[in-house]
Amino acid sequence: MLPAIEYFHHLVAQDIPSAIAQYEELTEKFVAHNICFAGKAMAFHLRPHFLSPTVRHNLEQAAHHVLTIALKAELGLFGGDAEQLYEALGMSQAERVLLRVHPGFEERVFWTRLDAFIGTGEDDIKFLEFNHDAPAGIGYSAVMSRLFLELPLMEKLGEKFAVRSDDARPDLLRALLKAYGIWGGTEHPNIAIVDWQGVRTSSDFEILRDFFEANGHRTIIADPRALEIRAGKLYHQDFRIDLVYRRVVTSELLEKLDECGAFVEAYTNRLACFINSIRCRISENKAFMSFLTDPAYLGHLSAEERHLLGKYLPWTRAVRPGKTDFHGTEIDLGEHLRTERERFVLKPADAYGGKNVFVGSVTSQGDWETAVNTALTHPGWVVQERVPTPVEPFPIRTENGFEFREMKYNINPFYLGGVMSGAVTRTSTEAVINVSAGGGSIPTFVVAPK
């Protein structure tokens, strides 16, 4: 455990009334500053997550390696035949139509959030998922970090430790403007943050809108169903849209295509710059990771690239009957899953929010076999080798003050325009760690002794 954690917990324990007051004040500030999820203050702990400078550096390097190699892998799979890749990933016909649209640039991902587990070693990092398709959290993280730094506890910590946080909003704006320039935009762009009205993360949009506005870019929040095209331009009411910061999730868009005609037409005909483009969905699909961890598909990569993918990604396969490679041994996938339940996690290939995730080690044998049978007979599931979930003690608010309890956590670094820029950490007592599934969210700081 980092010395900064021990010292922070010591500060909490030596003055519980003050810690309670700071917790309650922070809760009020979360509401006042719109750090809300589903209309309530975001669940949090009094202590942020602390990283050493070395782990932070290793996390950025690992993210860079994996994302760079993943793009190379994607472009070379099936000899570069995109249609075969769409078929292998089980893309619907409606989605394939959008995937065939050239968005005006070659980059698949200008910004993303990665889900990572950090093990006992400083370079023991595994990325469980890529979140390219409209991930949330940058606005929340920036404001949370500022509010935490105002706490007397953090000020006291700063007397002994150097404390640093990254505000990802400037890098997000730079990534958006970079994409706009590559797309061919020359004017100072008007920005639309586009998602369904009333989504639970709407306050994250509002934080980002205010930041973009403060930096000279007129910005609105718009529902994709409320857009229209006039004189070859995309509009929301009288607001001309040059740059779409796309937060609407593609799977949900596909369910309502007939309601979003202007949005789809503008994307198809490049009437505005859309970031990220729909093409990010290829590597967002969890089944894509099965190609990145299967030697049979990696012949176009170097030995070093294959090594790095194996180092930073868990073994993953699309679930289907038949045999496959498991760390150099041929196995019958269905039989292996049934007999080695505790080693694996089953999840839908195209879902988010922790929905329908089965962690074998905490799932009964009967429920596990039902899930395996469903996955084998209904395409669209993946299995991953379970990565040990990291745990750390956090001060948990109780009726009598605080208790220091072990909490499961994952860290979610933002990777924007080629650099890591901040991270948010999510915690839970459950095996599935996700705010949508009832977890908490805290900012991430880099700390080192002075």
Which tens digit of pLDDT belongs to each residue from 48-102?
Answer: 999 999 999 999 999 999 999 999 999 999 999 999 999 999 999 999 999 999 9
Closest CA to 296 of 328, 333, 258: 328
Instruction: Please give the Cα distance from 265 to 187 (Å, whole number).
Output: 21
Which pLDDT value is given to residue 227? 98
Residue 50 host element (H or E) = strand 49-51
Q: To which residue do tokens 């998922």 refer?
A: 129
Confidence of residue 41 (pLDDT cuts 50, 70, 90): confident
Cβ atoms of 306 and 299 closer than 8 Å:
no
More confident residue, 42 or 324: 324
What lies within 8 Å, CB to CB, of 198 at 6+ separation is none
Which pLDDT value is given to residue 39? 75
Instruction: Please give the Cα distance from 227 to 265 (Å, whole number).
Output: 10
Query: Quick check: 439 pLDDT over 90?
Result: no
Which pLDDT value is given to residue 92? 93
Closest CA to 143 of 47, 245, 26: 26
Which pLDDT value is given to residue 352? 65
Q: To which residue do tokens 């080192």 refer?
A: 448
| Helix, coil or strand: residue 323 | strand
Average pLDDT over residues 263-286: 96
Tokens at residue 18, please?
A: 């003050």
DSSP 237-280: TTEEESEEEE-S-HHHHHHTGGG-HHHHHHHHTTSSEEES-GGG
Beta bridge partners of residue 424, listed in sequence order:
412, 443
Average pLDDT over residues 230-241: 97
Cβ atoms of 139 and 214 closer than 8 Å:
no
Confidence of residue 187 (pLDDT cuts 50, 70, 90): confident
Average pLDDT over residues 179-206: 93
Which pLDDT value is given to residue 34? 85
Average pLDDT over residues 143-168: 96
pLDDT, tens digit (0-9, with 9 covering 90-100), for 366-403: 999 999 999 999 999 999 999 999 999 999 999 989 99
pLDDT above 90: percentage of residues in the chain: 86
pLDDT, tens digit (0-9, with 9 covering 90-100), for 299-308: 999 999 999 9
Which pLDDT value is given to residue 206? 94
Residue intervals in the chain for CATH 3.40.50.1760: 3-284+390-449
Query: Quick check: 158 pLDDT over 70?
Result: yes
Assess if CATH 3.40.50 describes domain 315-385: no
Residue 113 host element (H or E) = strand 111-118
pLDDT, tens digit (0-9, with 9 covering 90-100), for 321-363: 999 999 999 999 999 999 999 999 999 988 765 678 999 999 9
Average pLDDT over residues 184-200: 93
Architecture of domain 3-284+390-449: 3-Layer(aba) Sandwich (3.40)
Cβ atoms of 390 and 400 closer than 8 Å:
no
Residue intervals in the chain for CATH 3.30.1490: 315-385
Q: To which residue do tokens 């041994």 refer?
A: 329
Instruction: Report the chain's mean pLDDT, rounded to a whole number.
Output: 93
What's the CA dihedral at 363, 365, 371, 372 to 10 degrees?
120
What lies within 8 Å, CB to CB, of 314 at 6+ separation is 126, 128, 293, 384, 385, 386, 387
Which pLDDT value is given to residue 350? 81
Which pLDDT value is given to residue 400? 87
Query: Quick check: 268 pLDDT over 80?
Result: yes
Average pLDDT over residues 32-48: 87
Which of 154-158, 186-190, 259-263, 437-441 is least confident?
Answer: 437-441
- Please give the backbone phi and psi of residue 68, each rounded to the nearest 5 degrees, phi first: -65, -45
